[in-house]
C-alpha cells in the first residue's frame, strides 16, 4: 500500500477516540494482548491509546533487537502472536535481525512501526527513511494505513496474516496523524484463526509409497515437532523402517523423557553428508530439504546424495498433523505401535551423573540435562558450544526446546525473555554463547524489570569460537594478527557478573563443574532472573 | 547490479591471491586503511586477506551498531572514509540505524557486506536475505561483485562514491566465492578525490543580493562549519546585517574560544518558529531549510514564515568554501572585517565558574565547558539533557563538536570510539543520554580493547526523558500506567559503573556537582577510557 495524504488534523483532547485507539481495540479484539515496545515521539498517541487499554500488557525493551526477539519467544510459547511497537525506520532496522530469525522460525508477529505524520513526509525530516523498503526483506506482509478509519480493518488483516499457517511476519506502518486523528469506526469483530491448507492427496500417496521403499528418510519440522506429531512420525518410522530426522534448527521441539528422541541434521557439512548418505527418498513434512548453512570451497550446497528423490508430503503452510495422521494410516502404522525411539533413551536416564572437574561446554550441558526441572523451556543460542547438548537432552525431564533459526546472532536473551512472559510458572533456561549474548544483553534488564523466571548460562569462552573453526573450514589456514583481533573477545575479558548486576540481574561465576552444579541448583530453586557465567 | 553466477571454485591454498586480496589491496590503494568489523563465516576469506595486509587496521565491534557508528566517528574526524565489514543481511541490518545517522551526516563510508557464495543463493540457506533491499534505504550506492576479477574496479568505484562530496554511503556486497576464488587482476591505481561541484554563478548572485536585503538569514552547514567557513560566514553576516545560523544537527562544528560562536535552529518547534520569525530571505550554504524534527497536531512542518523566500547559494554537494568566498567578495565583506560573533563571547570566558551543589544536566554541561582541554572532541548524544550545552560551549577551549544527525539513538558511544581512533592525542568527551547509551553500550568494550582516550559522561536520569516531554507536546495528556512503563528505565536502575567495568572500562558515579568536577578532572588527566555516571 502507498501513503495517501489526509487533511491536517488539529490537536486532540485526550478524551477523543483516535485512530490509535481503534488500532489497539482491534489488536485486542483479534486476540493480541502483549505489546513488546520501544516507542518514540511518533508513537506517542499509540502509547496514549495503550494507556486506555489495561488489558494490553506492555513490555519495554531497551533496544529493538530485544523487542522483536522477545516477541518471537512469546509467540513460540503462547502459540499466538504478540505485537511490537517500533519507532520509525531506524527502530525497525534495529529489530530486523531478530525478525529474520522469527521469519525463519515461521513465528506469527505483528509489528506496528510508527512513521511521521503523512503530511510531514514531504519535508524529509531527519528520521525519515524508506520504512517499506526496510520492512519487506524480513516481512511476509507490509501495510500502511490510508486514514485513521482504515486502521481497524488493516490491523485485523495484519493479525490474520500473522496467524496464517505456519506463521508470518506482518508489519503495519502507522503515520502519526492517523494515530492522533479522531475516528468513529468500530473495531472489527474477532476473525477466526486461519486454518492451514489441507495436504494434497496425491502428495500423501507418493509420500506413503516412498516411505515404504528402501533408503527412505522422513524429515519433519514445525507443528510436527510437538508431542503428537512426533509420536505419529515415530510410529511411521518404526512401521516402515524409514529413518526419522528433523532439521538442524527448529522453532520449538517437545523433548525429554517419555517423548520421541528425534535426532537432527548436523550443522557441520561433512557430518550432515555422512548422516544423509544412502538416503534415496526424502519425505518432507513441514521441513525443507537440508542445505549447508554456509557454502565452502569444494563442498556441495545440498546435503542430499545426488540421486535422492525429494517428496513433499506437506509444505510448511499445510496441516502437518493431518498429514502425519494420514501417512500413518496409509502405511498401516497401528495407533499402538511400539515406539523404539521413545523407550530406548528412557532406559539410560540413570547413566547420566552430575559432571565433575574442569568446566567444559559438555559439562555445562550435562549439568543442565541432569538438573533441569519438568516443563522447563530451553532457549539455545550456544552456537559452537552447544553441539553436545541436543543429543544429551534425550535424557532430560520433559521440556520445550527453542533454537536460533535464522543464524542472526543475538536472539537468546530476548527469546528467553519473551518465552518467560508467555509461560509463567515454567523455568526458562537460556544456554547462551558469549559473543552472541553481547548483541542483545539489554534484554537482561527486561528480565529484571518483569521479574522473569529465567536462568541465563553464559558459555564464556571469550571468543567467537565458531569463527576459529570456520576460518579453518574455508581453507584460510591459521589466523594471523588481524584475524585474531577479530575472533577473540578477550583483552579485556567481559565480566558477565558485572554486566548482569548492572542491569539488576543477580549473577555468579563458575569455573569448575562442581561450582556450576551448585550455582545452577540454587538458581533453579529461586524465582526470578539469575545469570551464571560459565568460564569454559 | 545483479548477482551473476560464476563457476564453482575449488579450495584455495592460503598462498593463492584471491578476490578478497584484490579487494583489500584496492581499498588500501584508494586510501582506506581502517576496517571496523564484525565478521562471520562468509567473510573468512576477506579476514584472511586482511591478515596479509598489516597496513589495514582492524577494529572489532561487538555488535554492528558499534561498527557503523564508529566508522562514522572515524570519518568525521579523519576527513576520509573507513570501511566496515558486516556479516550478511542481518549483520548489515544491525548496522542500519547508525548508517541512517551517517547518511544524514553526509559521512563517507564503504560497507563491505559478505554474502553466501553465488551458487549457494538458490538454496535459500538460513542466513539468506535480500541484502540489496536492506542496503538501499541507507545507502547512496549499492554494488555487488560479478566475479573475483571485478572486485578491484568495483571497490575503487565504491570508494569514489563514498568520497563524492559531501560524502556518501557506499555498500559493496561480496559473495563468498568471489572472495575465495583466485584472481590475477591488479588493484587499480589511486584515483584522485572527486572535487565538489562548483557553485552556480546565478545562484551566488541571487544569494548575494538577498543577503543585503532586510530579513536575511544565512544558514550554513557541512564544510562551512570548519573554522575558515565560519569566519567567512561571520564576515558576511557582520557586513550585511544578515543573521547567521546553522542547522539543529551537524556532523562536525569547530567551536570554542577564538572561533565564531554560531547559534543553531532549536529542536523545539515553538522555539524554532520564534527564532526564525521575521526571516524573509533564507540563504542556504550546504544547509537544508529547517523543518520540524517531528510533526505535531496543529503545528507546521516548515519552521519558516510562510512568506519566506528560500535561496540556495550552494547545495550540500557543491564547494561550500568557494561559495562563501564568492559571497563575501560579492557583498563586499573585507577580509579583515570585524567579527563581533567571535569577540563578544571570548570576553565572557572568565564569567563561567565550576558548578556546585546539586548535579543537574546544566551543571554537567558547565563543568565540561570549563574543564575540557584544548582540541577536545565532543560527541553529543545528550538528547533532552543536552540543550544547555551548546550555547555554553561558546566559552570552551577550541574543540570539535560532533552530533547525532539522524535521530537514530545509539550513536554516541560508537561515534566517540571512532573519533578517538581517528584523532589520537586528542581527548574525546562523549556526552551521553542513558536511554540512548543502552542501544550500543558494547562500544565501551572496543574503547577498552583499543585503549582509547575517551571520557564517557552518562546523563543518568533513568528515563527516556524526551518522551515525557513529547507525550505532552503531542497533546496526549499525562502518562498513565502503560506509558510510564514505557518511558521510565528505573525499576531497576541501570548501574553504569558496573556495566562499564564489565567491559573493562574504569568508571565512577557522581551525584553532586563537586564530585562530578573532581571525577572529570581526574578522567581528563589520565589516558584511556573512563566513564562517569552523572546521576541527575
Dig out the grid coordinates for A83 from the structure: 505485537
Confidence of residue A350 (pLDDT cuts 50, 70, 90): low
**Per-residue exposure over B32-68, b if at least 16 CB sit within 10 Å of its own CB, e if not:** bebbbbbbbbbbbbbbbbbbbbeebbbbbbbbbbbbb
Nearest CA in chain A to B298: A10
pLDDT at position B485: 86
Cβ of B291 within 8 Å of Cβ of A477? The answer is no
Q: Where are any strands of DSSP class E within A334-375?
A: none
**Which ipTM value was assigned to this complex?**
0.95
Per-residue pLDDT tens for B134-163?
999 999 999 999 999 999 999 999 999 999
Nearest CA in chain A to B48: A476
Nearest CA in chain B to A88: B408
Partners of residue A288 in chain B, C-beta under 8 Å: 124
Per-residue pLDDT tens for A149-175?
999 999 999 999 999 999 999 999 999
* Closest in A48, A410, A474 to B180, CB measured: A474
Mean pLDDT on A403-431: 97
Cβ of A445 within 8 Å of Cβ of B492? The answer is yes
Instruction: Compute the distance between CA of residue B142 and CA of residue B511 in angstroms, rounded to an integer.
Output: 48
Q: Where are any strands of DSSP class E within A404-516?
A: 428-433, 454-460, 506-510
pLDDT at position A1: 32
Per-residue pLDDT tens for A202-255?
999 999 999 999 999 999 999 999 999 999 999 999 999 999 999 999 999 999
* Closest in B37, B485, B494 to A486, CB measured: B37
Mean pLDDT: which of A254-263, B9-18, B295-304, B349-358 is highest?
Answer: B295-304
CB neighbours of A344 closer than 8 A, spacing ≥ 6? A261
Mean pLDDT on A125-148: 98
Is the C-alpha dihedral spanning B242, B243, B248, B249 positive or negative? positive
Per-residue pLDDT tens for B82-136?
999 999 999 999 999 999 999 999 999 999 999 999 999 999 999 999 999 999 9
Say yes or no to pLDDT of B31 above 50. Answer: yes
Mean pLDDT on A309-327: 98
Mean pLDDT of chain A: 93
Cβ of A94 within 8 Å of Cβ of B65? The answer is yes
Mean pLDDT of chain B: 93
Distance from the B324 Cα atom to the nearest Cα atom in chain A, whole angstroms = 25
pLDDT at position A380: 97
Distance from the B337 Cα atom to the nearest Cα atom in chain A, whole angstroms = 35
Mean pLDDT on B326-330: 96
Say yes or no to pLDDT of A94 above 80. Answer: yes
Is the C-alpha dihedral spanning B128, B134, B139, B141 positive or negative? positive
Per-residue pLDDT tens for B481-494?
888 888 888 889 99
CB neighbours of A274 closer than 8 A, spacing ≥ 6? none
* Closest in B47, B126, B479 to A104, CB measured: B126
Cβ of B406 within 8 Å of Cβ of A126? The answer is yes
pLDDT at position A249: 95
Q: Where are any strands of DSSP class E within B407-466?
A: 428-433, 454-460
pLDDT at position B257: 87
Distance from the B8 Cα atom to the nearest Cα atom in chain A, whole angstroms = 8
The alpha carbons of chain A give a radius of gyration, in whole angstroms, of 24
Distance from the B116 Cα atom to the nearest Cα atom in chain A, whole angstroms = 7
Instruction: Compute the distance between CA of residue B378 and CA of residue B404 in angstroms, rounded to an integer.
Output: 11
Cβ of B249 within 8 Å of Cβ of A438? The answer is no
* Closest in A119, A288, A298 to B301, CB measured: A119
Confidence of residue B3 (pLDDT cuts 50, 70, 90): very low
Nearest Cα residue to A130 out of A145, A112, A115, A110: A115
Cβ of B58 within 8 Å of Cβ of A482? The answer is yes
Backbone angles phi, psi at A220, to 5 degrees: -120, 160
Confidence of residue B11 (pLDDT cuts 50, 70, 90): very low
Instruction: Compute the distance between CA of residue B1 and CA of residue B151 in angstroms, rounded to an integer.
Output: 13
pLDDT at position B349: 52
CB neighbours of A283 closer than 8 A, spacing ≥ 6? A207, A210, A211, A216, A217, A218, A219, A242, A311, A313
Cβ of A89 within 8 Å of Cβ of B104? The answer is no
Partners of residue B63 in chain A, C-beta under 8 Å: 410, 438-439
What percent of chain B has pLDDT above 70? 94
Backbone angles phi, psi at A125, to 5 degrees: -65, 160
Instruction: Compute the distance between CA of residue B142 and CA of residue B169 in angstroms, rounded to an integer.
Output: 9
Cβ of B47 within 8 Å of Cβ of A133? The answer is no
Say yes or no to pLDDT of A196 above 60. Answer: yes
pLDDT at position A91: 98
Distance from the B470 Cα atom to the nearest Cα atom in chain A, whole angstroms = 6
Backbone angles phi, psi at B232, to 5 degrees: -60, -45
Partners of residue A491 in chain B, C-beta under 8 Å: 449
Partners of residue B496 in chain A, C-beta under 8 Å: 502
* Closest in A471, A482, A495 to B44, CB measured: A471
Distance from the A189 Cα atom to the nearest Cα atom in chain B, whole angstroms = 25
Cβ of A62 within 8 Å of Cβ of B408? The answer is no
Cβ of B448 within 8 Å of Cβ of A492? The answer is yes
Say yes or no to pLDDT of A9 above 80. Answer: no
* Closest in A298, A449, A486 to B60, CB measured: A486
Dig out the grid coordinates for B284 from the structure: 542556504
Nearest CA in chain B to A41: B470
* Closest in A10, A466, A492 to B297, CB measured: A10
Partners of residue A412 in chain B, C-beta under 8 Å: none
pLDDT at position B5: 35
Confidence of residue B342 (pLDDT cuts 50, 70, 90): low
Cβ of B291 within 8 Å of Cβ of A406? The answer is no
Instruction: Compute the distance between CA of residue A525 and CA of residue A453 in angstroms, rounded to an integer.
Output: 10
Query: Is A532 within 8 Å of A519 (Cβ atoms)?
Result: yes
pLDDT at position B77: 98
Query: Is B254 within 8 Å of B398 (Cβ atoms)?
Result: yes
Say yes or no to pLDDT of A124 above 80. Answer: yes
Is the C-alpha dihedral spanning A444, A446, A448, A452 positive or negative? negative
For chains A and B, count residue pairs whose Cβ atoms are closer than 8 Å.
Answer: 362
Quickly tell me which residue has 520501544 as its cell: A38
Distance from the A512 Cα atom to the nearest Cα atom in chain B, whole angstroms = 21
Distance from the B458 Cα atom to the nearest Cα atom in chain A, whole angstroms = 14
Q: Flag the least confident range among A379-388, A397-406, B180-189, B208-217.
A: A379-388
pLDDT at position A395: 82
Confidence of residue B341 (pLDDT cuts 50, 70, 90): low
DSSP-derived letter for residue B23 is H
Mean pLDDT on B383-400: 87
Nearest CA in chain B to A481: B51
Cβ of A406 within 8 Å of Cβ of B124? The answer is no
Distance from the B514 Cα atom to the nearest Cα atom in chain A, whole angstroms = 25
Quickly tell me which residue has 556546585 as its cell: B356
pLDDT at position A342: 58
Cβ of A293 within 8 Å of Cβ of B126? The answer is yes
Cβ of B47 within 8 Å of Cβ of A405? The answer is no
Q: Flag the least confident range among A89-93, A499-503, A521-525, B395-399.
A: B395-399
Query: Is B393 within 8 Å of B256 (Cβ atoms)?
Result: yes
Per-residue pLDDT tens for B192-238?
999 999 999 999 999 999 999 999 999 999 999 999 999 999 999 99
Query: Is B19 within 8 Å of B151 (Cβ atoms)?
Result: yes
Query: Is B171 within 8 Å of B88 (Cβ atoms)?
Result: no
Amino acid at each position: 500500500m502507498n501513503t495517501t495524504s489526509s487533511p491536517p488534523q488539529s490537536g486532540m483532547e485526550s478524551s477523543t477516540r483516535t485512530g490509535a485507539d481503534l488500532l489497539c481495540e482491534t489488536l485486542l479484539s483479534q486476540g493480541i494482548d502483549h505489546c513488546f515496545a520501544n516507542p518514540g515521539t511518533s508513537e506517542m498517541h499509540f502509547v496514549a491509546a495503550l494507556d486506555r487499554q489495561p488489558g494490553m500488557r506492555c513490555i519495554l525493551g531497551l533496544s529493538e533487537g530485544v523487542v522483536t526477539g522477545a516477541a518471537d519467544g512469546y509467540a513460540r510459547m503462547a502459540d499466538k502472536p504478540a505485537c511490537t511497537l517500533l519507532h520509525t525506520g531506524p527502530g525497525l532496522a534495529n529489530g530486523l535481525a531478530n525478525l529474520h530469525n522469527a521469519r525463519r522460525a515461521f513465528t506469527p508477529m505483528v509489528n506496528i512501526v510508527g512513521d511521521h505524520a503523512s503530511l510531514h513526509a514531504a519535508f524529509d525530516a531527519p528520521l525519515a527513511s524508506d520504512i517499506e523498503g526496510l520492512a519487506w526483506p524480513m516481512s511476509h506482509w507490509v501495510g500502511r494505513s490510508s486514514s485513521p478509519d482504515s486502521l481497524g480493518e488493516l490491523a485485523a488483516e495484519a493479525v490474520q496474516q500473522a496467524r496464517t499457517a505456519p506463521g508470518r511476519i506482518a508489519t503495519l506502518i502507522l503515520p502519526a496523524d492517523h494515530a492522533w486523528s479522531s475516528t468513529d469506526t468500530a473495531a472489527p469483530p474477532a476473525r477466526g484463526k486461519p486454518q492451514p491448507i489441507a495436504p494434497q492427496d496425491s502428495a500423501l500417496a507418493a509420500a506413503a509409497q516412498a516411505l515404504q521403499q528402501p533408503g527412505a528418510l522422513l524429515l519433519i519440522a514445525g507443528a510436527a515437532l510437538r508431542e503428537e506429531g512426533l509420536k505419529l512420525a515415530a510410529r511411521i518410522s518404526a512401521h516402515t523402517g524409514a529413518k526419522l530426522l528433523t532439521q538442524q534448527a527448529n522453532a520449538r521441539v517437545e523433548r525429554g523423557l517419555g517423548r520421541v528422541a528425534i535426532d537432527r541434521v548436523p550443522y557441520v557439512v561433512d557430518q550432515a553428508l555422512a548422516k544423509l548418505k544412502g538416503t534415496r527418498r526424502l519425505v518432507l513434512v513441514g521441513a525443507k530439504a537440508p542445505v549447508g548453512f554456509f557454502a565452502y570451497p569444494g563442498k556441495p550446497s545440498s546435503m542430499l546424495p545426488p540421486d535422492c528423490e525429494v517428496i513433499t508430503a506437506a509444505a510448511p503452510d499445510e496441516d502437518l498433523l493431518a498429514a502425519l495422521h494420514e501417512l500413518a494410516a496409509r502405511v498401516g502404522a497401528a495407533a499402538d505401535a511400539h515406539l523404539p525411539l521413545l523407550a530406548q533413551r528412557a532406559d539410560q536416564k540413570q547413566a547420566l551423573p552430575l559432571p565433575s572437574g574442569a568446566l567444559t561446554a559438555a559439562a555445562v550441558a550435562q549439568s543442565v540435562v541432569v538438573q533441569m526441572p519438568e516443563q522447563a523451556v530451553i532457549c539455545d543460542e550456544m552456537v559452537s558450544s552447544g553441539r553436545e547438548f541436543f543429543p544429551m537432552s534425550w535424557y532430560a525431564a520433559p521440556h520445550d526446546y527453542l533454537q536460533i533459526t535464522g543464524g542472526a546472532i543475538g536472539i537468546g536473551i530476548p527469546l528467553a525473555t519473551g518465552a518467560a512472559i508467555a509461560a509463567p510458572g515454567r523455568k526458562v533456561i537460556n544456554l547462551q554463547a558469549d559473543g552472541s549474548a553481547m548483541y542483545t544483553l539489554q534484554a537482561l534488564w527486561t528480565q529484571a524489570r518483569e521479574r522473569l523466571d529465567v536462568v541465563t548460562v553464559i558459555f564464556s569462552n571469550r571468543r567467537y569460537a565458531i569463527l576459529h573453526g570456520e576460518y579453518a573450514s574455508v581453507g584460510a589456514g591459521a589466523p594471523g594478527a588481524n584475524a585474531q583481533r577479530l575472533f577473540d573477545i578477550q583483552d579485556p575479558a567481559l565480566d558477565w557478573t558485572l554486566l548482569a548486576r548492572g542491569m539488576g540481574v543477580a549473577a555468579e561465576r563458575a569455573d569448575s563443574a562442581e561450582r556450576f552444579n551448585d550455582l545452577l541448583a540454587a538458581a533453579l530453586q529461586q524465582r526470578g532472573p539469575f545469570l551464571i557465567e560459565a568460564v569454559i
